[in-house]
């Protein structure tokens, strides 16, 4: 395999908190020197709890949030140096599916127009060609092409998420960032949408950055996984190795907290002791394709 | 993976392990009989649901959105908002049918007999009231303590739910606490009047998994300490496996399976339960 499709190097995003009446100005290090690479065709999981910086990382890659520093190389080119116009072009290849199928679709637009909009923005095709493409996309994600004139509220949560996926796929991207894309769905609907994502990956040779807090799901579908904690990646490795032998204290605590389906499984909950690790420790290789900040 | 549901074959209560309540042990703490609830549409939201909970027992009520599990819980406490309406059934709590009580008598039952923990502590707590006062309010409403006494007991309760430095935290407002801490405050309020039954509606769904583990651990400890019975409503079979003695599965307003947690998880009898378990990521 050649160079990775996406390479994120020392990505940093600091949010400044302005000085308040009783508060000194401060800086929140939401993403604090994050480095990882995703190969073509990979399903790469980025996991962490709320506030860990995983979603900010995803948005910085697409420059939906402007990172403070670092590099985001897509097919070898650092997109952080692109002009606004060039970045718009680059986004044809990098798309995102958001978590909330209720707030991420414009309620006043017909769903066919929602899916068509990326094609309009990028001035692709004639009106009939775009309409044909929308019908094709509807079919691809398992929606009834006859429903293009409906509004989002006429669809269930799972169907809305399919509309969001169709919109992301409209421009034939190479990389799809799925930001908690199935988290808001019921478990049986979630299984169907996950199956669709995996299906599309094969059919369209997609690469995914799968951002999630559900470790059971990530273990099930991702080839490699990175664990984020307080803005840093604390452990990264092949999914099987990482789940079999978690090394960083945070990963251990996180994995031990997952409720298991077996009522008789021994429960050994590991509490995180923040003094048990060095926050600034760099990632080092602890096994084959397995890194931890210990 | 998903087998189609066949209504003819998969009738409600075809469960092999459903055993009727053993009345030789005495009356159950809560006995819901043939409860039906409508919101005005032709299909009822809750359709002829029956289950019981013994003292100190945890019953997990599991289902997906719209299955009627939360509506069932709210009906037990008679907290349904119109157009929701109970059309049939009885809710026997300590032998009394809650559905026949006056609103005044019902207020006595809520909090002192049965209390409720909501999913979202942020919206369930009053944002402009100190958490200590919100806990004290539970005592005062039920006339169980004087004002000074209620304050002191609020501190004790915060200690019971393992909030560090409880004597300082009583003066905090909800926004000063983390999500996990807020849920602990909710639990403290629910336990204030020592009810024998707590209804917990997705108590950990809004929490991160490490915080969820801590809150579940706390619930387990408090259950043992106060011999609490728990009606635990969740969509997460993992939480059920960790917490429940028995489990009832709801689908489209009906109870489709009901039994000991080990039996249901290992040998689900109803096709819907099998589908639901198969959909859990990583389940075999």
- Please list, residue by residue across B208-233, b when 16 or more beta carbons sit within 10 angstroms of its beta carbon and e when fewer do: bbbbbbbbbbbbeebbeeeebbbbbb
CA neighbours within 13 Å on the CB side: how many for B206?
18
SS3 B233: strand
Tokens of A252: 């251990």
CB contact under 8 A, A187 and B276: yes
Tokens of A140: 């691809």
Q: What is the ipTM of this complex?
A: 0.81
CB contact under 8 A, A258 and B237: no
User: Of chain A residues 228-257, which have a CB less than 8 A from chain B?
Assistant: 253-254, 256-257
Provide the whole-model pTM: 0.84
> How many contacts does A have with B, using Cβ atoms within 8 A?
85
Instruction: List per-residue pLDDT tens for chain B, 284 residues long.
Output: 445 555 444 444 434 444 444 444 568 999 999 999 999 888 999 999 999 999 999 999 999 888 999 999 999 999 999 899 999 999 999 999 999 999 999 999 998 999 999 888 778 899 999 999 999 998 888 877 888 889 899 999 999 999 989 999 999 999 999 888 999 999 999 999 999 999 999 999 888 898 899 999 999 999 999 999 999 999 999 999 999 999 999 999 999 999 999 999 999 999 999 999 988 886 64
| Residue among A186, A191, A265 whose CB faces B65 most closely | A186
| Residue among A214, A221, A263 whose CB faces B261 most closely | A263
Q: Which of B162, B213, B260 to mutate to test the interface with A (most CBs of A within 10 A)?
A: B213
Give the span between the Cα atoms of A48 and A228, in whole angstroms.
5
Give the span between the Cα atoms of A292 and A249, in whole angstroms.
10
Chain A residues closer than 8 Å to B277 by CB: 261
Chain A residues closer than 8 Å to B242 by CB: 259-260, 263, 267
Cα B101 → chain centroid: 21
- DSSP letters, chain A, are --S-SEEEEEEEEEEEEPPBTTB--EEEEEEEEEEEEE-TT-EEEEE--TTSSHHHHHHHHTTSS--SEEEEEETTEEGGGS-HHHHHHHTTTEEEE-S-TTTSS-TTS-HHHHHHHHHHHTT-S-HHHHHHHHHHHHHHTT--GGGTTS-GGGS-HHHHHHHHHHHHHTT--SEEEEESTTTTS-HHHHHHHHHHHHHHHHHHT-EEEEEES-HHHHHHH-SEEEEEETTEEEEEEEHHHHHHS--SHHHHHHHHTSPPS-TTS--------GGGS-TTPPPEEEETTEEE--
């Amino acid at each position: 395999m050649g160079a990775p499709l996406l390479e994120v190097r020392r990505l940093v995003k600091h949010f400044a908190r302005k000085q308040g009446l009783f508060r000194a100005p401060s800086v929140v290090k939401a993403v604090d020197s994050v480095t990882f690479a995703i190969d073509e065709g990979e399903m790469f999981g980025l996991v962490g709890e709320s506030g860990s910086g995983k979603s900010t990382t995803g948005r910085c890659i697409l420059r939906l949030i402007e990172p403070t520093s670092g590099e985001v190389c897509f097919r070898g080119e650092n997109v952080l140096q692109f002009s606004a116009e060039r970045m718009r072009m680059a986004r044809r290849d990098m798309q995102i599916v958001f978590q909330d199928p209720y707030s991420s679709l414009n309620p006043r637009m017909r769903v066919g127009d929602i899916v068509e909009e990326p094609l309009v923005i990028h001035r692709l095709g004639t009106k009939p060609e775009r309409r044909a493409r929308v019908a094709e996309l509807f079919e691809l994600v398992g929606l009834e092409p006859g429903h293009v004139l409906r509004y989002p509220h006429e669809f269930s949560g799972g169907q809305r998420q399919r509309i969001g996926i169709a919109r992301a796929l409209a421009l034939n991207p190479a990389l799809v960032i799925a930001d908690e894309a199935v988290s808001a769905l019921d478990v049986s609907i979630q299984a169907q949408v996950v199956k669709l994502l995996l299906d599309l990956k094969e059919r369209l040779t997609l690469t995914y950055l799968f951002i999630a807090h559900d470790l059971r799901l990530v273990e099930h579908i991702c080839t490699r996984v990175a664990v984020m904690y307080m803005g840093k990646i604390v452990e990264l490795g092949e999914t099987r190795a990482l789940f079999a032998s978690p090394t960083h204290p945070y990963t251990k605590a996180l994995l031990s907290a997952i409720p298991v389906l077996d009522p008789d499984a021994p429960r050994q909950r590991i509490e995180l002791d923040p003094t048990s690790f060095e926050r600034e420790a760099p990632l080092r290789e602890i096994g084959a394709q397995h890194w931890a900040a210990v | 993976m998903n087998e189609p549901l066949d209504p003819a074959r998969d009738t409600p209560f075809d469960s092999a392990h459903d055993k009727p309540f053993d009345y030789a042990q005495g009356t159950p703490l809560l006995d819901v009989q043939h409860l039906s609830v409508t919101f005005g549409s032709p299909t009822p939201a809750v359709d002829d649901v029956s289950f019981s909970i013994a003292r100190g027992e945890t019953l997990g009520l599991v289902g997906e959105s719209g299955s009627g599990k939360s509506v069932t819980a709210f009906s037990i406490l008679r907290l349904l908002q119109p157009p929701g309406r109970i059309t049939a059934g009885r809710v026997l709590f300590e032998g009394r049918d809650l559905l026949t009580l006056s609103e005044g008598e019902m207020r006595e039952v809520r909090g002192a007999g049965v209390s409720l923990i909501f999913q979202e502590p942020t919206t369930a707590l009053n944002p402009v009231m100190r958490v200590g006062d919100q806990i004290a309010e539970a005592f005062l409403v039920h006339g169980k303590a004087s004002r000074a006494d209620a304050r002191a007991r609020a501190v004790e309760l915060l200690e019971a739910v393992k909030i560090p430095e409880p004597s300082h935290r009583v003066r905090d407002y909800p926004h000063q606490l983390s999500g996990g801490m807020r849920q602990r405050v909710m639990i403290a309020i629910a336990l204030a009047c020592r009810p024998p039954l707590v209804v917990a509606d997705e108590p950990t769904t809004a929490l991160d998994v490490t915080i969820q583990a801590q809150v579940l651990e706390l619930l387990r400890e408090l259950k043992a300490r106060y011999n609490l019975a728990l009606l635990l409503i969740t969509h997460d079979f993992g939480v059920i496996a960790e917490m429940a003695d028995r489990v009832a599965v709801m689908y489209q307003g009906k109870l489709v399976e009901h039994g000991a947690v080990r039996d249901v998880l290992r040998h689900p009898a109803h096709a819907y339960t099998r589908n639901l378990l198969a959909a859990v990521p990583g389940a075999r």
